[in-house]
């Protein structure tokens, strides 16, 4: 945090003065504002969704398309697609131009809000955004910050309806108030925030590079241990696999199917979606496990439940302690071992279950290989099926080649690795905490400036 403290001292944030006089804004979410500021509903400061493509648009019309996932948490457009009208999704309809601000009205918890600056000709955004086109009373630079201020965006999120895809009607959003200082002051606030957030973002980027380097070092450490072992003097042999290279002479390189139980569905893909109809969304004692569990490693997550009869009918897909689950769609290749306190349940259609002979290979060791080893993920990248075929399948998993030491060596190797991993993970976590604090500082600074809690006019004079 030394960089943060240095930045605070340098920017003199601790010595900012409040405005000379305040008044009640009349809005609970906003509180007091400077006495010379006004509070106005968004719909009186902007036009919402002023332009859209019509359904009779020429099929070959070219567009640059931005979806909700293309806007990051810092309000930057980080992903665009070049499409024709015919190939674009039906939600690619909102036309934007310089000075607009886009605000997500679907999946509002993502806080996908960004200014439109130097857009390519024909840029189009999803109908999941409200396009805010400002009047002369609000500058686009100031609005880009004001619409991201917690007092506004938290109100949007809190009033969104729906569970999986919470959304808000743009007309309702238009009734929400914004604090509007005089135009010259809007420009001063935007200039101040541009400068200060750029400095914070530079520190975040620096720390993110540190995390990337630590993660690469961690991955290399694991991969070396699970392909070369812990003894640098042990005799080596050619594995017979080009991308695996040499391995200890007493290790074996085999396809994963040779370690799976031959009976009891050793490698089993989850049931078809049609077999998982009429799910229950209250705890029945029989759970449906999916990607949210495998990606996070938390088997308490999730709210999909089966009746007892459904559970019994799906016996082939039961999950039990020591099983390994692998994600086969979307975020492919995450692997976790099922803990001893896992509730009775079954895997879903996005998951593959691996049940191994624990006398031959430690399930925890195989989980480490599947989740962490670079050479395993290189294989997955080479053989993964396309989206049309639904990602990985049991054949893909069964044919993965893994390098495995004798059973008696797997435990000590795991113990050493876990100790080294813990040290690396501790370093990564410390940097992640510093990044989160920087992001909190960024949010607080924006909030203080656009709510009039600090007077920044002298800072840009």
pLDDT tens-digit profile of 73-82?
A: 888 999 999 9
Q: What is the pLDDT of residue 387?
A: 43
Q: What is the pLDDT of residue 264?
A: 59
Closest CA to 111 of 170, 52, 159, 69: 69
pLDDT band at 101 (very low <50, low <70, confident <90, very high): very high
Set out the domains of the chain in order of their start, with CATH numbers. Answer: 1-37+182-209+409-461 (no CATH), 38-180 (3.90.220.20), 230-404 (3.90.220.20)
Does residue 99 carry a pLDDT above 60? yes
Q: Please state, in angstroms and rounded to a whole number, the distance separating the CA atoms of residues 26 and 30.
A: 8
Mean pLDDT, rounded, for 153-160: 89
Does residue 116 carry a pLDDT above 90? yes
Mean pLDDT, rounded, for 126-151: 91
Q: Which helix (H) or strand (E) holds 371?
A: helix 363-372
Mean pLDDT, rounded, for 410-427: 90
Does residue 61 carry a pLDDT above 70? yes
Q: What is the pLDDT of residue 145?
A: 93
Q: What is the pLDDT of residue 404?
A: 93
Residue with tokens 């805010």: 132
Provide the β-strand partners of residue 39: 179
pLDDT band at 118 (very low <50, low <70, confident <90, very high): very high
Q: Lowest mean pLDDT: which of 124-138, 258-272, 313-327, 374-388?
A: 374-388
DSSP string, 46-104: EEES--B--TTS-TT-EEEEE-GGGB-TTS-B---EEEETTTS-TTEEEE--TT-EEEE
Which tokens in the block code for residue 7?
């930045």
b/e code 219-253 from CB counts within 10 Å (16+ = b)? eebbbebbbbbeeeeeeeeebeeeebeebbeebbb
Q: What is the residue-averaged pLDDT of the chain?
A: 88
Q: What is the pLDDT of residue 107?
A: 86
Mean pLDDT, rounded, for 428-449: 92
Higher pLDDT among residues 383 and 70, named by residue: 70
Q: Please state, in angstroms and rounded to a whole number, the distance separating the CA atoms of residues 391 and 376.
A: 16
This prediction's pTM: 0.73
Q: What is the pLDDT of residue 40?
A: 93
Q: What is the pLDDT of residue 1?
A: 40
φ, ψ for residue 448, nearest 5 deg: -60, -40
Residues 6 or more apart whose Cβ sits within 8 Å of residue 210: 431
Q: What is the pLDDT of residues 164-200, one digit of tens each?
A: 678 899 899 999 999 999 999 999 999 999 999 999 9
b/e code 429-448 from CB counts within 10 Å (16+ = b)? eebeebbeebeebbbebbbb
Cβ atoms of 68 and 56 closer than 8 Å: no
252 Rama sector, left if φ>0, alpha if ψ -120 to 50, beta otherwise = beta
Mean pLDDT, rounded, for 287-310: 91
Q: What is the pLDDT of residue 284?
A: 93
Does residue 286 carry a pLDDT above 70? yes
φ, ψ for residue 124, nearest 5 deg: -130, 140
Q: What is the pLDDT of residue 388?
A: 43
Does residue 4 carry a pLDDT above 90? no
Cβ atoms of 268 and 352 closer than 8 Å: yes
Q: Cα 348 vs. chain centroid, distance in angstroms? A: 21
Which tokens in the block code for residue 139?
């500058």
Mean pLDDT, rounded, for 6-18: 59
Percent residues over pLDDT 70 in the chain: 94
């Amino acid at each position: 945090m030394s960089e943060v403290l240095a930045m605070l001292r340098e920017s003199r944030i601790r010595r900012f003065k409040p405005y000379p006089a305040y008044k009640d804004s009349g809005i609970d979410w906003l509180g007091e504002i400077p006495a010379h500021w006004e509070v106005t509903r968004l719909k009186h400061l902007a036009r919402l969704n002023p332009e859209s493509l019509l359904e009779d648009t020429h099929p070959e019309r070219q567009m640059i398309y931005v979806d909700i996932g293309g806007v990051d948490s810092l309000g930057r457009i980080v992903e665009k697609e070049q499409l024709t009208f015919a190939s674009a999704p039906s939600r690619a309809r909102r036309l934007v131009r310089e000075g607009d601000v886009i605000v997500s009205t679907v999946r509002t918890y993502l806080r996908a809000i960004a200014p439109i600056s130097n857009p390519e000709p024909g840029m189009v955004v999803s109908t999941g955004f409200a396009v805010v086109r400002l009047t002369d009373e609000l500058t686009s630079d100031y609005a880009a910050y004001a619409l991201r201020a917690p007092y506004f965006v938290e109100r949007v999120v809190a009033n969104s309806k729906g569970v999986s895809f919470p959304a808000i009607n743009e007309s309702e959003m238009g009734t929400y108030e914004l604090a509007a200082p005089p135009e010259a002051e809007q420009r001063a606030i935007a200039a101040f925030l541009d400068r200060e957030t750029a400095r914070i973002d530079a520190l975040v980027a620096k720390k993110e590079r540190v995390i990337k380097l630590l993660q690469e070092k961690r991955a290399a450490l694991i991969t070396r241990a699970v392909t070369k072992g812990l003894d640098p003097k042990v005799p080596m042999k050619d594995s017979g696999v080009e991308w695996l290279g040499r391995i200890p002479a007493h290790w074996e390189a085999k396809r994963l199917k040779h370690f799976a139980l031959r009976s009891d569905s050793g490698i089993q893909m989850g049931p078809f979606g049609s077999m998982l109809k009429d799910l229950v969304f209250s705890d029945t004692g029989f759970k449906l496990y999916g990607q949210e569990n495998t990606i996070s490693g938390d088997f308490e997550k999730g709210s999909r439940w089966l009746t007892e009869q459904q559970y019994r009918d799906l016996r082939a897909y039961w999950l039990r302690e020591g099983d390994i689950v692998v994600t086969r769609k979307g975020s492919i290749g995450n692997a976790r071992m099922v803990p001893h306190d896992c509730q009775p349940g079954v895997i879903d259609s996005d998951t593959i279950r691996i049940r191994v002979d624990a006398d031959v290979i430690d399930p925890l060791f195989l989980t480490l290989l599947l989740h962490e080893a670079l050479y395993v993920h290189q294989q997955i990248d080479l053989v993964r099926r396309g989206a049309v075929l639904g990602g990985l399948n049991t054949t893909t998993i069964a044919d993965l080649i893994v390098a495995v030491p004798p059973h008696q060596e797997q435990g000590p190797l795991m113990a050493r690795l876990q100790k080294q991993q813990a040290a690396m993970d501790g370093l990564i976590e410390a940097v992640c905490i510093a990044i989160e604090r920087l992001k909190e500082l960024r949010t607080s600074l924006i909030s203080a400036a656009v709510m009039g809690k600090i007077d920044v006019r002298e800072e840009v004079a």
